[in-house]
Amino acid sequence: MHALATLVTILGFGAGGGWLADRVVRIFSAKNVSIVAMIGACGLIAAWACHAAFGNLAIALSLLLGWALLVLAAVDWLAFRLPDMITLPLTVAGLVAAHLLPGEHVLEHLAAAVIGYTAFWAIAWIFRRLRGKEGLGLGDAKLAAAAGGWVGPLALPSVLLLASVAGILVVLIRALFKGRAALSERIAFGIPLCAAIWIVWLYGPLTITLPVPS
């Protein structure tokens, strides 16, 4: 992307996207957020997308995805919820993106969406049966479906792995400062899940390089 167009994208998306994100987060969380933080976050998303994505279509799709993930992460942080009005359209948008991008197959992404939702639903059901209380909410399952819709079946395991590792680290860090009581506290798992979706979308699935015998 041309340098001037990149600058305009960053400034425009930062200002407009940040203002809109602030409004939407307030609606779904019923709490005040910092509009300066939202504008800064949207500007960062735009700069990151322009740097990592190639082609106008990929950048536009990345801006859409990044904005939605930012809003979902903020709402989950403030209100411990992932609104259906964002996660469900985001899943559909991922399937549309798969249709538009070369080399992608919509049916594979649809299958990944189903797998993502089913896996999280199963984990939540097992946890509820064993512990008698909610572990993962269905909002997380719907966000996992959105992840599958956007990144496809080959990259979905990387999203789940990164999000799980990040979630475990959050719990361990809390435990270091608060003691064992922190282990029973709720965490907004949508935040690491959003971050993992964003990273895998831009850079692809994790790869393991095995040493080649000489």
Plot region of 133 (φ>0 → left; ψ -120 to 50 → alpha; else → beta) = beta
Decide: 146 and 87 in contact? Cβ < 8 Å: yes
**Interatomic CA distance for residues 66 and 61, integer angstroms:** 8
Per-residue model confidence as pLDDT tens digits over 55-105: 899 999 999 999 999 999 999 999 999 999 999 999 999 999 999 999 899
| 8 Å CB contact between 174 and 185 | yes
The pLDDT value recorded for residue 134 is: 66
Please choose, from the candidates 80, 78, 68, 211, the residue with its C-alpha nearest in 3D space to the C-alpha of residue 150: 68
> Which of 115, 121, 116, 158 minimizes the C-alpha distance to 138?
121
d(CA 154, CA 71): 26
Chain segment 134-177, per-residue pLDDT in tens = 667 789 999 999 999 999 999 999 999 999 999 889 888 887 87
DSSP string, 51-76: HH--SHHHHHHHHHHHHHHHHHHHHH
Kindly tell me the number of DSSP H helices and DSSP E strands found in the chain: 9, 0
Per-residue pLDDT for 187 more than 90? no
Given pLDDT bands bounded at 50, 70 and 90, which one contains residue 28?
A: very high
Pairwise CA distance, residues 17 & 169, whole Å? 30
Give the model's pLDDT for residue 146. Answer: 97
**Model confidence band, residue 109 (pLDDT cutoffs 50, 70, 90):** very high
Do residues 11 and 43 lie in contact, with contact meaning Cβ atoms separated by under 8 Å?
yes
Judge whether residue 131 has pLDDT over 60: yes
- Between CA 93 and CA 191 the distance in angstroms is 20
Class of residue 99 by CB neighbours under 10 A (exposed 0-12, middle 13-18, buried 19+)? exposed
What pTM does this model have?
0.91
